Amino acid sequence: MIHSRTKAIGQIQAYVIKLIDAQPFHTLRSSKRNAKPSSERPRRAYPKRRKPIPFVSNVKEVQDPVEALSLFDEYHQMGFKHDYPSYSALLYKLARCRNFEAVEAILGHVQDRNIHCRETLFIVLIQHYAKAHSVEKAIELFHQIPSFNCVRTLQSFNAFLNVLIENDRFCEANDIFGRSYKMGFRLNTVSFNIMIKGWLEKGEWEEACKVFEEMLEKKVQPSVVTYNSLIGFLCRKGELDKAMGLLEDMRQKGKYPNAVTYALLMEGMCSVGKHSDAKKMMFDMEYRGCKPQLVNFGVLMTDLGKRGKIDEAKSLLNEMKKRRFKRDVVTYNILINYLSKEGRAAEAYKYFIEMQIGGCVPNAATYRIMVDGFCRVEDFEGALKVFNAMLISRHCPRLESFEYLVMGLMVCGKLDDACFVLDEMRKRDMQLGLEGWKNLVIKACGGGIVAGGLVTELISVH
């Protein structure tokens, strides 16, 4: 099937109108509603699996939004009757590509034809609008949900509230939070948790406490997440006594602390120098019915790394292996990071290999740490080896890493490799800054009059 790629993005709206208006809309749901069940067929013990919808499967593989629209049209021309699943799959694709002009055009047709939509579609679109910093559009869409033959529930309300908080729109968040009952929503624990989290991120402890008190007054039960937000804030402020008081209050109310609760308290203890207490808490928590998790080991490893006790951090990693914990990329990154900072890049590389042998896939941070670690000890060949692996994995170094690697390769006389790295930068629309080019010219020319002249010319052109 060949998809057209020749239509300009600016013509999408007109194109959508043409292709959707070309034929009348039919739904599979309406035909099924009129079908009479057969008494001759035996009743199934399990529900029948839905067959995959060809268009939905194909559109997920398409990257270009114009191609997705062309695919929609091709299926339409072949007589395929697009229903809600088709429209939602197309809208998800367009929203991820941030093609909101086409999103709005299609939503208009969905609305005109009174297609029954699921609330999850609008939640996703609202979140995509927010990621694109189009909060006003997200607000508008939230209020329009009922006009799409869709019941707006507390789920979309909470998602919308979270979008407002994350985009620093506290006035609107407070307003809609206060009007929730008039809007027909009965606030739940998640609603209050979102507001508490927002105020704490702004450093507004008193406001967060007011929300917490309102929560209790309205007999909405706090969750472990509620307490973790409050305990985490106090621990970051070094107010451990208050944090421990909340832990006790939590237990009295029948809420069981989880591994994150203990990790937050352990971090607070480490931040004020109570390292032994933090270690003791991790081993005591198990007696209280909470098994330590990777996050708890991570807190101790990070603390040991900050204090230069790398070998003790390595011992913790071995202990995790003995206790049959499957170590994750975050755990390895902690150790690799501090080994690299200590100038032990070769040792860090061994763990870099070990994690992959054990089935743990490095992430972008792992590669960046290793590239920077090798550059730090001026092992630019090692850095280039990791750099190549990073490109294969489709991750990208930081601009500073690119610059450091190019300079190092130039000093080592590996001009071809340096040019290769510069070419990879160009492919990613990353450029050396003025200072970077200046250093590169000086390194390439070995200083002196020629280098000085080139640098002067470079600055004047820039």
**Full pLDDT tens readout for the chain, 462 residues:** 334 434 434 444 555 555 545 444 333 333 333 444 444 555 555 455 566 676 766 677 777 777 777 777 677 677 777 778 878 888 988 888 888 998 998 898 888 888 888 999 999 999 999 999 999 999 999 999 999 889 999 999 999 999 999 999 988 999 999 999 999 999 999 999 999 999 999 999 999 999 999 999 999 999 999 999 999 999 999 999 999 999 999 988 888 999 999 999 999 999 999 999 999 998 889 888 899 999 999 999 999 999 999 999 999 999 998 888 889 999 999 999 999 999 999 999 999 999 999 999 999 999 999 999 999 999 999 999 999 999 999 888 888 888 888 888 887 778 888 888 888 888 877 777 666 666 666 666 655 544 455 445 544 545
Domains of the chain: 1-26+53-115 (no CATH), 326-428 (1.25.40.10), 432-462 (no CATH)
pLDDT at 97 (0 to 100)? 86
pLDDT at 81 (0 to 100)? 74
pLDDT at 441 (0 to 100)? 65
Assign 3-class secondary structure to the chain: CCCCCCCCHHHHHHHHHHHHHCCCCCCHHHHHHHCCCCCCCCCCCCCCCCCCCHHHHHHCCCCCHHHHHHHHHHHHHCCCCCCHHHHHHHHHHHHHCCCHHHHHHHHHHHHHCCCCCCHHHHHHHHHHHHHCCCHHHHHHHHHHHHHHCCCCCHHHHHHHHHHHHHCCCHHHHHHHHHCCCCCCCCCCHHHHHHHHHHHHHCCCHHHHHHHHHHHHHCCCCCCHHHHHHHHHHHHHCCCHHHHHHHHHHHHHCCCCCCHHHHHHHHHHHHHCCCHHHHHHHHHHHHHHCCCCCHHHHHHHHHHHHHCCCHHHHHHHHHHHHHCCCCCCHHHHHHHHHHHHHCCCHHHHHHHHHHHHHCCCCCCHHHHHHHHHHHHHCCCHHHHHHHHHHHHHCCCCCCHHHHHHHHHHHHHCCCHHHHHHHHHHHHHCCCCCCHHHHHHHHHHHHCCHHHHHHHHHHHHHHC
pTM here is 0.76
pLDDT at 76 (0 to 100)? 67
pLDDT at 8 (0 to 100)? 39
pLDDT at 433 (0 to 100)? 65
pLDDT at 229 (0 to 100)? 97
